[in-house]
Structure 1
Amino acid sequence: MSGGRAAGGPLVTSSVRRVVIVGASAGGLATGEALRRGGFDGTITLVGDEPHLPYDRPPLSKEILAGEWDRDRLPLRPPADIEALALDLRLGATATGVDPVRRLVVLDSGEEIGFDALVAATGVRPRQLPGGQGHVLRTLEDAVALRDRLRPGKRLAVVGAGFLGAEAAAVARRLGCEVTMVEPAPVPLAHAVGTEIGTMLTHAHIDHGVDLRTGIGVSAVHDGGLMLADETEVEADEVLVAIGSVPNTDWLAAGGLPVDDGLVCDRYCEAAPGVYGVGDVARWHNDLFGTSMRIEHRTHAAEQGLAVARAILDPDRRRPFAPVPYFWSDQYDMRIQAYGYLRGHDEVRIVEGNLDERRFVAAYRTGDRLVGVLGIGTTPRTLRGWRKKVADAATWEQAMTDVIEEGVSSGTR
């Protein structure tokens, strides 16, 4: 629509009439919804490789795996709301290629779908060990298959002690399973949250009865469990492989689009003229932190979808997408929340509470900047205050000065 206005909607200045969104999860759906809210009345084709309407993935490793939720709680929107968007839905279809010159997306059926704007929101797939054995945890079917096998007394081996593996281990312990978790790094999650906090999380698993093996890799998965790199056997009834993920970019690379651990996008989330990236699959330049990043978190995908929709609707007034990333993880009685970009940090400092009680706020420094904050057992208000400092690009010196002054004013220092 060029120069038109939808009833009650904002002015739409784009000449785009056909938008194809590949990826029917949080980011893809958010993009489609924002386009309709913004007054777009052209064709929106939403392609998803699963047969389901868009659903929420974070509960898969928590409420669904624990058996606390039925699958009917997962959809992001009721069917009537999806229908109201008037989408050209292509569920159970996979994009196998794209021609950015002829403006075509190719599906596994051989069908070609034309577009004026393309949104790649294909997410990631689980990284697997050689041989591909063991459970993975990415789809609803994955979660249900593992859930149906977790019973009191069952032995679960988890390969990988990142957030996904740690959440699944915590759920399995709560269900009464015996859990062994194997992690090649000396300290789980140290690359993301720092050695001190990674050590604290390690102790939390051990305190809850997890047999945690660190600093050792896995050489094989077999019917009876695992063979470790030192030829030690870990007996298990079930094995979950949670060793990270791989962006689903094969179809994009086939079309000559820039790919490097994700679809490489600029500050506007654009990879090529009229081709955008959203969510886990997108690597874009975040001006707030001055670096390229790819974020695998639910809230981020939705925010990026909104930004891309705005860019499609009004390209002349688009703004750089420069958010403060947010993530959370539930493990045992701990809710871990973080704002910012913690990877590659130079320093971590506990600025409130203490690690021993597992109630604290930790600030992260990169160079002379405050780049992130992580809290466990703290109030949302406290973290929101730190988030604002990160969003304002506060210097480390100023942030630490604020800590001292706030402590004095509250009488705690």
Structure 2
Amino acid sequence: MVDAHQTFVIVGGGLAGAKAAETLRAEGFTGRVILICDERDHPYERPPLSKGFLLGKEERDSVFVHEPAWYAQAHIELHLGQPAVRLDPEGRTVRLGDGTLIAYDKLLLATGAEPRRLDIPGTGLAGVHHLRRLAHAERLRGVLASLGRDNGHLVIAGAGWIGLEVAAAARSYGAEVTVVEPAPTPLHGILGPELGGLFTDLHREHGVRFHFGARFTEIVGQDGMVLAVRTDDGEEHPAHDVLAAIGAAPRTALAEQAGLDLAAPETGGGVAVDAALRTSDPYIYAAGDVAAADHPLLDTRLRVEHWANALNGGPAAARAMLGQDISYDRVPYFFSDQYDVGMEYSGYAPPGSYAQVVCRGDVAKREFIAFWLAADGRLLAGMNVNVWDVAESIQQLIRSGAPLEPAALADPEVPLAALLP
């Protein structure tokens, strides 16, 4: 039974919001839980959209966080297809797009992020795509299958995780693929020059063409359809379809309108929260892609856009809303699957933060672990490629903060657990 003595509202129907609602009930909260989703689909997970679902290996129903009936069974009041358009912290109300006004005792912002748009001529042509929502993935899956049947050409702006995963999926359907990237290697800002080339070689072996050091300047079309892409170095690439995979921006409009503190754009933006995921308003919390949190372990403000952060951040925020003493200090983690290469990355090592990269295993065979070390020997991040059951040990080494010997890290005969202090 629901006791209406308190109302907790969750704005955002992604993984973070759904897991927060689940956690409130699991922790014994008996008040009203209202989950506001601007999409008409029930809350779903996003990794399959560029992986299994896009590849045609997973069915549509597999992406959902819960069965549709679960929400009623858990007494979660679900508002599908209803955006929250105004947040009033003083009155503690949120207004929906249809005019409905909902009062809350505490509120969680889990509004996520949205794809960054290309600001060039031609983006309104049919055949220009983004990948963020289930509807995008459904459309793109059909497009890739059609391109494969017709020997069509997909040109991708951006060699980040989404761009590379879609490139791999497109090649699996038989489509021709060109990736345009301003940096000298894929994933340059994440893996640095030391390992970005690994993904260049992997994709080239599967027929992907790369055009580095360039940006889109125009998408050329005829009769409303894409014909080609032009870049700032004067090149032109024939195209039947285009994917913009140039990153995502946190959806902070609601927080900004409500006067909540935001993180600086140069640090990634987002809604500024403390280690308990509480915003500058004591009754409002934020989690998932939109939250820029003071990270107790890494001693920096950090916004993480990956699945694990939504999976764990939503429940952490829910517990904080219930008054529990929360210090959200998870080691950032993400994973990717491309062709026959699977990888996991743990930690945080932005450009300029590390002194060296040490590898153990066979990099040429793509079976190895890479370690990003600070100047004092601390482990900042680790990436295991086709080597499994080591992510937990890597995260423990990061947490330890202990200086590590590069030779021991590089030696496959030395168990990672033996390096823990």
1:237 and 2:231 aligned = no
Which residue does 1:115 correspond to in 2?
104
Which residue does 2:345 correspond to in 1?
338
Which residue does 1:3 correspond to in 2?
none
How many Å separate the matches in 2 of 1:187 and 1:262?
A: 27
Residue aligned with 1:293, SS: strand
Per the normalisation by structure 1, the TM-score is 0.91
Moved more, 39-48 or 353-362: 353-362
How many Å separate the matches in 2 of 1:111 and 1:401?
A: 62
Moved more, 383-392 or 276-285: 383-392
Name which of 377, 385, 393 aligns with 1:376.
385
Show structure 2 runs of 5+ residues with no match.
221-225, 264-268, 417-421
Name which of 188, 197, 204 aligns with 1:199.
197
How many Å separate the matches in 2 of 1:104 and 1:306?
A: 23
Query: When the two structures are aligned, how many residues end up with a matched partner?
Result: 393
Post-superposition Cα deviations, 1:32-66, rounded to whole Å, max 9, x if no partner, equal: 11100111010111001100111111101122222
Residue aligned with 2:345, SS: strand
Give, in angstroms, the shift of residue 351 of structure 1. Answer: 3.3
**Distance 1:138-1:405 versus aligned 2 partners, 3 A rule:** closer
Which residue does 1:142 correspond to in 2?
136
Which residue does 1:289 correspond to in 2?
298
Give yes or no for contact 2:354–2:380 (8 Å, CA) kept in 1: no
Give yes or no for contact 2:359–2:371 (8 Å, CA) kept in 1: yes
Name which of 326, 329, 340 aligns with 2:333.
326
**Distance 1:198-1:409 versus aligned 2 partners, 3 A rule:** closer
Give yes or no for contact 1:348–1:362 (8 Å, CA) kept in 2: no
How many Å separate the matches in 2 of 1:142 and 1:53?
A: 15
Name which of 55, 58, 65 aligns with 2:54.
65
Give yes or no for contact 1:16–1:312 (8 Å, CA) kept in 2: no
Give, in angstroms, the shift of residue 401 of structure 1. Answer: 6.7
How many Å separate the matches in 1 of 2:305 and 2:76?
A: 25
Give, in angstroms, the shift of residue 384 of structure 1. Answer: 2.1
Give, in angstroms, the shift of residue 406 of structure 1. Answer: 7.2
Moved more, 63-72 or 244-253: 63-72
Q: Which amino acid aligns with 1:318?
A: D
How many Å separate the matches in 2 of 1:363 and 1:267?
A: 27
Alignment root-mean-square deviation, CA: 2.0
How many Å separate the matches in 2 of 1:161 and 1:125?
A: 18
Give yes or no for contact 2:373–2:381 (8 Å, CA) kept in 1: yes
Which residue does 1:11 correspond to in 2?
none
| Identity within the alignment, % | 35
Q: Which amino acid aligns with 1:281?
A: V
1:40 and 2:26 aligned = no
Which residue does 2:168 correspond to in 1?
170
1:308 and 2:317 aligned = yes
1:351 and 2:359 aligned = yes
Give, in angstroms, the shift of residue 82 of structure 1. Answer: 2.2
Moved more, 360-369 or 267-276: 360-369
Give yes or no for contact 1:370–1:399 (8 Å, CA) kept in 2: no
Per the normalisation by structure 2, the TM-score is 0.89
Give, in angstroms, the shift of residue 209 of structure 1. Answer: 0.7
Q: Which amino acid aligns with 2:65?
A: L
How many Å separate the matches in 1 of 2:285 and 2:373?
A: 31
Name which of 251, 255, 259 aligns with 2:258.
255
Give, in angstroms, the shift of residue 402 of structure 1. Answer: 5.0
How many Å separate the matches in 1 of 2:187 and 2:361?
A: 21
Give, in angstroms, the shift of residue 221 of structure 1. Answer: 1.9
Which residue does 2:179 correspond to in 1?
181
How many Å separate the matches in 2 of 1:278 and 1:127?
A: 20
How many Å separate the matches in 2 of 1:193 and 1:40?
A: 42
Post-superposition Cα deviations, 1:116-145, rounded to whole Å, max 9, x if no partner, equal: 111000100000102544100011111111
Which residue does 1:127 correspond to in 2?
116
Q: Which amino acid aligns with 1:40?
A: F
**Distance 1:224-1:54 versus aligned 2 partners, 3 A rule:** same
Give yes or no for contact 2:408–2:414 (8 Å, CA) kept in 1: no
Post-superposition Cα deviations, 1:88-115, rounded to whole Å, max 9, x if no partner, equal: 1111011122111111112222222111
